Amino acid sequence: MRFATSLAACALALAFSTAVLAQGLPRAAKPEEVGLSTDRLKRLSDRMKQGVKDGELPGAVVLVARNGKVAYLESFGLRDPEAKAEMKNDAIFRIASMTKPFVSVAIMMLAEEGKLSIAHPVSQYLPEFKDLKVGVVKKKDDGTSEVVLEAPKRQMTIQDLLRHTSGLSYGVAGSDPLKQAYVDAKVGDPNQTNAEMVTKLSKLALIHQPGTTWEYSHSTDVLGAIVEVVSKMPLDQFIAERIAKPLKLPDTGFMVDASKANRGARPQKEGPKNEMPNVPLVTNNAKWKSGGGGMVSTAADYARFCQFLLNGGQLDGVRLLSRKTVELMTANHLPPNVLMGPDMWRFEALEPGRHMGQGFGLGFAVRVDAGRSPLHGSVGDYFWGGAYGTYFWIDPKEKMFVVVMMQSPAARLPYRYLMRELVYQAVVN
Amino acid sequence: MLMRRLLLATTAALFIAAPVLAQGLPRAAKPEEVGLSSDKLKAFTARLKEGVDKGEIPGVVAIIVRNGKVAYVDAVGFRDREEKAAMKPDAIFRIASMTKPIVSLAIMMLAEEGKLSIAQKVSDFIPEFAKLEVGVEKKKDDGTVELITEPQRRQMTVQDLLRHTSGLTYGTFDKSLVDQEYLKAGINNRNLTTREFIGKLIRLPLKHQPGTTWEYSVSTDVLAWIVEVVSGKPIDAFVAERITGPLKMPDTGFWVDAKNLGRLAEAQKDAQGQRPVMRDVKAPPSWPSGGGGMVSTAADYARFGQFWLNGGQLDGVRLISRKTVELMTANHLPPGTKLNAADTANPSPTRPTPVMGQGFGLGFAVRIAEGRNPMPGSVGEFYWAGAYGTNFVVDPKEKLVVVLMMQAPSQGANYRILMRQFAHEAITD
């Protein structure tokens, strides 16, 4: 009886301890086992602790895995500054645009089933997009501007959506009437359905000719709508049943249950106006399941997703995509003469332009040059980030990936640069 | 008779001095052990001797290291022709711009500690740089040209400084109006302190919009200042404690100790009986110039070259990670980077242009094409040179380090090409 109890206790302890680590992803005994230096990783830990101490960010969880093993997993600072709750490895974060790779994978899964082709025009699945026009802002003689509509030279395709060359935009209030129109139409309304969003977009002018310009946009939200139309199920249900469940990502979805509320990471007041950033609670159940930014996840879950990609489309015996599809997704899809949208400089070193040695694939930015980017990495590495502060990158050459979870819009760019630097300086083989 | 004495003295010096060369770098029993031809190397020596005998150069020390072993070392001619002092392998040389890779390394070491990111704006360290304007030469109606200024389109970054796309210039290599402003301000006055140099620089317009044009410049002197600001140490102390000390490069620094003055090589008098003016290195300088103020020996710099070839470590001492070496030795010039006017007018095999199959990394020129360049070499090799005649190349494909040290400013370009030719010809495997 006692033996059975201690056995049960062991099993429980084991299950509990592995539960907080990338469930199932093995842990390296020490970083040196996978060519990383314990001493040099300490620089990363020290810098994160210093950042928290200096008030640069409320807290973070950082995970580094190499050769299929988690080599570093640390939490820093506070999960919830108001509640003064310490950050823990299993904290849940709003991942914003790190939703986009999930939805891109969903599209490619449907493509592998023959239910769509990314070469097809979007209008084949969303007929409302058939008559989209391109808006051109022309200055009149009296100094005012007017919007003139042109026919698109070719139809927008699903590939355009995946690589953000669709001609769509994000709404921005301000002097650009085309982007202001998105704001006026409430394209990002959290109370809409994806179908309603598509109808709104179908009435707006595109801001570029399809295929000509990389402009970060609602494209992935449109992909989410296509997933719904083709799979005949809501986007959150598709993600849950076809991706999160098979890959064993229990804390990944468009929200988490109230029972997990005490694991939700929160931001702190920040920025020049010392304001609380608008980050929805992880338990927030928005009606609009935004394929461009609506999900939550944990470091451990997103690490499993990264390992799935690094493994070429399968994890722990569950295959969702073929190797060839992952190869296609993680190649550069931007044509040589593609333009960068006029405001895309705001991505700084993450801008997927040739001047930064980068391009964009089907759901990720990809590195195409060893140099030009001021950040460490490898040719072929691919990455993206979320506006609330989260970031990840996958480096097939070094068989490594890194997941950075934090909720701090203001600190996100500087911390991405630091993470690239501090992780790679620890590579010692 | 004199020739034979010279030959004997040289050979004697070679054998006696061998143990003090490249302290710790093992010696190949013979060149053939590392795939080099003794005969071809003898021909190299013969050509160097010819250069001395013809009066082209006073003397030279050359070292070739392959597969981590010293395969060739030779000291030819005079350390000081007018004093009739024979060149010895341990001669000390003013290395001028071969200082730049050392200071670039210092910046990257600080980056690896998380103390800066090369993606950061220079104005994060020198606030006045935020307000620098760019000079534009404008033709007036009366045919004269005036200098007007326009704001920076994007802020200069630390990466711009490392790869000479900062928009700064030198003042001495071109007659542009901005260059003339540099001269008027006395920017190259060696009696300045570093702080005074920066103080003058912040009052001058940039010559180019940051990021647009490669122009050799005082950028590395600005980097040295950033090292001081971030580390809290003067650049000479940082280099001594963190680089030349740990890498065992005892004769490398910003001046020559009194006890070593008898090893300092000198340029010979020209046809007008004048010695070329070179930097005064006989006392600690008020402005240790990160762009060109150091001295070194062939042996020390060969160790430095091997450090790079080893991916950032030497004899068990690691200063940077392999990934940082990869980043530094990749081409960082975006497609379409313009080349400054002076270099465009006088194209040279050692200028970083696609026409010459070369780019520029973070502190070195890098070869990016197999062909195009008239000098033999390999894709991925990186190198630089000093105005007084010193030069080096590191070739990761051939596992080769070649260092040539001399004080002969007018012959530097010729001997750079010669050195490449003879060193590569000697490869037999």
Query: Between A and B, how many residue pairs show a Cβ–Cβ distance under 8 A?
Result: 84
> Which residues from chain B sit within 8 angstroms of residue A417, using beta carbons?
117, 119-120
Q: Does A339 touch chain B (CB under 8 A)?
A: no
Identity of the residue in B117, B320, B336 whose CB atom sits nearest the CB atom of A417: B117
What does the angle CA B373 – CA B179 – CA B160 come to, to the nearest 5 degrees? 55
Contact B120 A418 (CB under 8 A): no
* Rg (alpha carbons) of chain B, rounded to whole number: 21
What is the nearest CA distance from B229 to chain A, expressed in angstroms?
A: 18
Domains of chain A, each with CATH number or no CATH:
25-106+233-424 (3.40.710.10), 116-231 (no CATH)
What total number of domains does chain B contain? 2
Please tell me the predicted confidence (pLDDT) of residue A17: 45
Q: Which residues contact A276 (CB under 8 A, 6 or more apart)?
A: A267, A268, A269
How far apart, in whole angstroms, are the C-alpha atoms of residue A194 and residue A328? 27
Asked if residue B376 and residue B298 are part of one domain, the reply reads: yes
Tens digit of each residue's pLDDT (9 = 90 or more) over B165-191: 999 999 999 999 999 999 999 998 988
- Judged by DSSP in three states, A244 sits in helix
Asked if residue B75 and residue B19 are part of one domain, the reply reads: yes
Which residue on chain B is closest to A426 by alpha carbon? B321
Identity of the residue in B326, B331, B335 whose CB atom sits nearest the CB atom of A354: B335
Please tell me the predicted confidence (pLDDT) of residue A42: 98
Contact B326 A426 (CB under 8 A): no
Contact B114 A369 (CB under 8 A): no
Please tell me the predicted confidence (pLDDT) of residue B16: 37
Contact B119 A349 (CB under 8 A): yes
Asked if residue B225 and residue B166 are part of one domain, the reply reads: yes
Asked if residue B383 and residue B334 are part of one domain, the reply reads: yes
Please tell me the predicted confidence (pLDDT) of residue B15: 41
pLDDT reading at B294 higher than 90: yes
Asked if residue B242 and residue B214 are part of one domain, the reply reads: no
In a domain, B99, yes or no: no
Identify the bridge partners of residue A62 per DSSP, sorted by sequence position: A74, A404
In a domain, B97, yes or no: no
pLDDT reading at B225 higher than 50: yes
Query: How sure is the predictor about B3, in pLDDT bands with cuts at 50, 70 and 90?
Result: low
In a domain, B26, yes or no: yes
Identify the bridge partners of residue B358 per DSSP, sorted by sequence position: B367
Which residue on chain B is closest to A398 by alpha carbon? B323
Q: Which of B321, B328, B358, B379 is best to mutate for the A interface (most A CBs within 10 A)?
A: B321
Contact A354 B334 (CB under 8 A): yes
Identity of the residue in B114, B154, B322 whose CB atom sits nearest the CB atom of A422: B114
Contact A372 B334 (CB under 8 A): yes
Q: Does A399 touch chain B (CB under 8 A)?
A: no
Q: What is the DSSP letter of A65?
A: E
Q: Does A277 touch chain B (CB under 8 A)?
A: no
Please tell me the predicted confidence (pLDDT) of residue A9: 52
For residues B60-86, average pLDDT: 97
Asked if residue B214 and residue B241 are part of one domain, the reply reads: no
Q: What is the DSSP letter of A372?
A: S
Contact B117 A374 (CB under 8 A): yes
Identity of the residue in B114, B331, B336 whose CB atom sits nearest the CB atom of A371: B331
In a domain, B98, yes or no: no
pLDDT in tens, chain A (429 residues): 555 555 555 555 454 444 445 566 999 999 999 999 999 999 999 999 999 999 999 999 999 999 999 999 999 999 999 999 999 999 999 999 999 999 999 999 999 999 999 999 999 999 999 999 999 999 898 988 899 999 999 999 999 999 999 999 999 999 899 999 999 999 999 999 999 999 999 999 999 999 999 999 999 999 999 999 999 999 999 999 999 999 999 999 999 999 999 999 999 999 999 999 999 999 999 999 999 999 999 999 999 999 999 999 999 999 999 999 999 999 999 999 999 999 999 999 999 999 999 999 999 999 999 999 999 999 999 999 999 999 999 999 999 999 999 999 999 999 999 999 999 999 999
Burial B317-345 (b: 16+ CB within 10 A, else e): ebbbbbbbbbbbbbbbbbeebebbbbbee
Which residue on chain A is closest to B320 by alpha carbon? A425
CATH code of residue B205: 3.40.710.10
Count of C-beta atoms within a 10 Å radius of residue A337: 6
Strands (DSSP E) contained in A38-120 are 59-66, 69-80, 85-86, 93-96
Contact B112 A422 (CB under 8 A): yes
Tens digit of each residue's pLDDT (9 = 90 or more) over B349-400: 878 888 899 999 999 999 999 999 999 999 999 999 999 999 999 999 999 9
Q: What is the DSSP letter of A275?
A: B
Structure tokens at B252: 């490398």
Asked if residue B28 and residue B112 are part of one domain, the reply reads: no
What is the nearest CA distance from A340 to chain B, expressed in angstroms?
A: 14
Q: Which of A36, A376, A398 is best to mutate for the B interface (most B CBs within 10 A)?
A: A376
Which residue on chain B is closest to A350 by alpha carbon? B119
Identity of the residue in A374, A421, A422 whose CB atom sits nearest the CB atom of B157: A374
How far apart, in whole angstroms, are the C-alpha atoms of residue B68 and residue A191? 66
Please tell me the predicted confidence (pLDDT) of residue B22: 53
In a domain, B100, yes or no: no
Asked if residue B121 and residue B87 are part of one domain, the reply reads: no
Which residue on chain B is closest to A48 by alpha carbon? B114
Q: Which of B231, B257, B277 is the last residue of a domain?
A: B231
Say what the alpha-carbon torsion angle B225, B229, B232, B237 is, to the nearest 10 degrees: -10
Choice among A280-284, A360-364, B74-78, B284-288 with the minimum mean pLDDT: B284-288
Asked if residue B271 and residue B387 are part of one domain, the reply reads: yes
Please tell me the predicted confidence (pLDDT) of residue B343: 85
How far apart, in whole angstroms, are the C-alpha atoms of residue B351 and residue B360? 9
Asked if residue B157 and residue B87 are part of one domain, the reply reads: no
Contact B334 A426 (CB under 8 A): no
How far apart, in whole angstroms, are the C-alpha atoms of residue A312 and residue B27? 46
Q: Which of B199, B231, B263 is the last residue of a domain?
A: B231
Q: Does A415 touch chain B (CB under 8 A)?
A: no
Please tell me the predicted confidence (pLDDT) of residue B349: 84
Tens digit of each residue's pLDDT (9 = 90 or more) over B132-171: 999 999 999 999 999 999 999 999 999 999 999 999 999 9
Please tell me the predicted confidence (pLDDT) of residue A291: 98
Residue located via tokens 């030779």: B74
Question: Which is nearest to B331 in space by CA: B216, B164, B157, B173?
Answer: B164
HEC string for chain B: CHHHHHHHHHHHHHHHHHHHCCCCCCECCCHHHHCECHHHHHHHHHHHHHHHHCCCCCEEEEEEEECCEEEEEEEEEEEECCCCEECCCCCEEEEEHHHHHHHHHHHHHHHHCCCCCCCCEHHHCCHHHHHCEEEEEEECCCCCEEEEEEECCCCCEHHHHHCCCCCCCCCCCCCCHHHHHHHHHCCCCCCCCHHHHHHHHCCCCECCCCCCEECCCCHHHHHHHHHHHHHCCCHHHHHHHHHHCCCCCCCCECCCCHHHHHHECCCCCCCCCCCCCCCCCCCCCCCCCCCCCEEECHHHHHHHHHHHHCCCEECCEECCCHHHHHHHCCCCCCCCCEECHHHHHCCCCCCCCHHHCEEECCCCEEECCCCCCCCCCCCCCEEEECCCCCEEEEECCCCEEEEEECCCHHHHHHHHHHHHHHHHHCECC
Asked if residue B266 and residue B221 are part of one domain, the reply reads: no
pLDDT reading at B292 higher than 50: yes
Contact A371 B154 (CB under 8 A): no
Say what the alpha-carbon torsion angle A295, A301, A302, A305 is, to the nearest 10 degrees: -110
Contact B330 A370 (CB under 8 A): yes
Contact B324 A424 (CB under 8 A): yes
Residues of B at the A interface (Cβ-Cβ below 8 Å)?
Answer: 111-114, 117-120, 154, 157-159, 211, 318, 320-324, 326-327, 330-336, 359, 361-362, 366
Q: Which of B208, B231, B254 is the last residue of a domain?
A: B231
Which residue on chain A is closest to B333 by alpha carbon? A372
> Which residues from chain A sit within 8 angstroms of residue B338, using beta carbons?
none
Kind of pairing between the strands at B213-214 and B338-339? parallel
What does the angle CA A267 – CA A270 – CA A275 come to, to the nearest 5 degrees? 90
Asked if residue B412 and residue B322 are part of one domain, the reply reads: yes
How far apart, in whole angstroms, are the C-alpha atoms of residue A221 and residue A187? 10
User: pTM for this one?
Assistant: 0.92
In a domain, B242, yes or no: yes
> Which residues from chain B sit within 8 angstroms of residue A378, using beta carbons?
323, 326
Q: Which residues contact A171 (CB under 8 A, 6 or more apart)?
A: A179, A180, A181, A182, A183, A185, A187, A188
Please tell me the predicted confidence (pLDDT) of residue A18: 43
Say what the alpha-carbon torsion angle B269, B274, B276, B280 is, to the nearest 10 degrees: 100
In a domain, B239, yes or no: yes
Structure tokens at B361: 């990394």
B383: domain range? Answer: 2-92+234-425
Q: Please answer whether residues A269 and A275 qualify as being in contact, where contact means their C-beta atoms are separated by less than 8 angstroms.
A: yes
How far apart, in whole angstroms, are the C-alpha atoms of residue A278 and residue A402? 26
How far apart, in whole angstroms, are the C-alpha atoms of residue B187 and residue B175? 15
If you write DSSP's letter for every residue of A299-342 in order, what string do you get? Answer: HHHHHHHHHHHHTTSEETTEESS-HHHHHHHTS----TTPEEPT
What is the nearest CA distance from B327 to chain A, expressed in angstroms?
A: 6
Name the helix (H) or strand (E) containing A146. strand A145-150
